[in-house]
Amino acid sequence: MPVDASPESPQPPSPVRRAAVVGCGDISAQHFAALGAIDGVELAAVVDPHADRRATASAAHGVPGYASLGELLDAGGIDAVHLCTPHNAHAPLAQQALERGVNVLTEKPVAHTLADAEALGVAARTAFAERGTQLGVCFQNRYNAPVRALRELLDSGKLGRILGANATVMWHRTPEYYAARPWRGTWAGSGGGLLMNQAIHTLDLLQWLVGPAVLVGGAASTRALAGVIEVEDTADLLLEHATPDGGSVRSVFYATNANGVNAPVTLDVVTERATLSLRGELTVRHADGRVDVVEEAGVLAGERSYWGASHRLLIEDFYASLGSERPFWIGAEEATASLRLIKVVYASSYAPGEWV
């Protein structure tokens, strides 16, 4: 009997995707929470080389724990891995999973060196072309409601040409923060400091909102944590962005971990007909006096509220992309753009051999 393909026919259920979180440090909490809330995805394992952390996560979530990604991949049955490891492990672990046909969602940065990022971009293209395997990078602030609204307004053309932009990241990090995870303060472990670990999200937003950028000038230095870390805690950049009309505009960017508190990230875009300001919410001040406000729907509570709350939206979108004919939109090449700018700043700020 032929199969009835009418819309009323019952459809087979979509397969449940089995996921593993690799690295059970601070940021993994966002991934565990998202995986527990997304239909069609289940947490199936955790991976961490530290026995205590692995045992704690395994017990908390009721799933097996593995000491290495290799052990997990050998056990099989995993559709996707979430990489929440130190920066220097992102690219090698991602390549290892992609080669085994396992989808990868990695925290930023895509890699701790530019060479690793570019090699991962090649591996990701190959994996998608040959097996449809996806790689995504967590620049979750692109999913914040005010950010999406800002992008839509700029794309609409209703506000005229972009005239310029600026952004700041004014956060606070103590020696204890770096002592808790010593890799954070090193070139070998993190690939950089403030720009790689905190400000990269805002640098990514500047490029996504205003246009692809090249560095006009920039400097990185260690102002408050000299003797504690070998990487920077303060940086400033001047960027030139290509605009859709073939022109260009400039933005200025300042970031520091020497502020007294974790202040809200700021990002302003000035156009011919309005000034658009992100301070958590988006405020649009039109030239004719009108003011519009777009608030963020989901906000994290507690001391990490300044992180933003859009991990779940990005993760949900990533899983929706599996099996798609197109790669996930924030992949290795997209994520390398901000990394490339950061490495140029380092090259102009440090002597050869002092940075990676």
**What top-level class would CATH report for the domain 145-296?**
alpha beta
Q: In the predicted model, what is the mean pLDDT of residues 210-238?
A: 97
pTM of the model: 0.93
Cβ neighbour number for residue 53 with a 10 Å cutoff:
16
High-pLDDT (> 90) share of the chain, %: 90
Residues listed for the chain = 356
Query: What is the location of CATH 3.30.360.10 in the chain?
Result: 145-296
Q: In the predicted model, what is the mean pLDDT of residues 294-317?
A: 72
pLDDT surpasses 80 at 315: yes
Helices marked H in 243-353 — which ranges? 311-321, 332-349
Higher-scoring residue by pLDDT: 302, 165? 165
d(CA 154, CA 346): 31
pLDDT surpasses 60 at 3: no
pLDDT surpasses 60 at 2: no
Amino acid at 341: L
Q: What is the pLDDT of residue 223?
A: 96
Is 3.50.50.60 the CATH classification of the domain at 17-140?
no
In eight-state DSSP terms, residue 13 is P
Residues 6+ apart with CB under 8 A from 188: 88, 356
Query: Do residues 235 and 221 lie in contact, with contact meaning Cβ atoms separated by under 8 Å?
Result: yes
pLDDT digits (tens, 9 = 90+) for 241-255: 998 778 899 999 999
User: What is the secondary structure of 94-146 as a DSSP string?
Assistant: HHHHHHTT-EEEEESSS-SSHHHHHHHHHHHHHHHHHH---EEEE-GGGGSHH
Query: What is the location of CATH 3.40.50.720 in the chain?
Result: 17-140
State whether the Cα torsion 247-239-135-34 is positive or negative: negative
d(CA 198, CA 141): 12
Residues 6+ apart with CB under 8 A from 126: none
pLDDT digits (tens, 9 = 90+) for 107-153: 999 999 999 999 999 999 999 999 999 999 999 999 999 999 999 99
Q: What is the pLDDT of residue 15?
A: 81
Q: What is the pLDDT of residue 297?
A: 77
CA dihedral 260, 28, 123, 198 (to 10 degrees): 0
Q: What is the pLDDT of residue 6?
A: 37
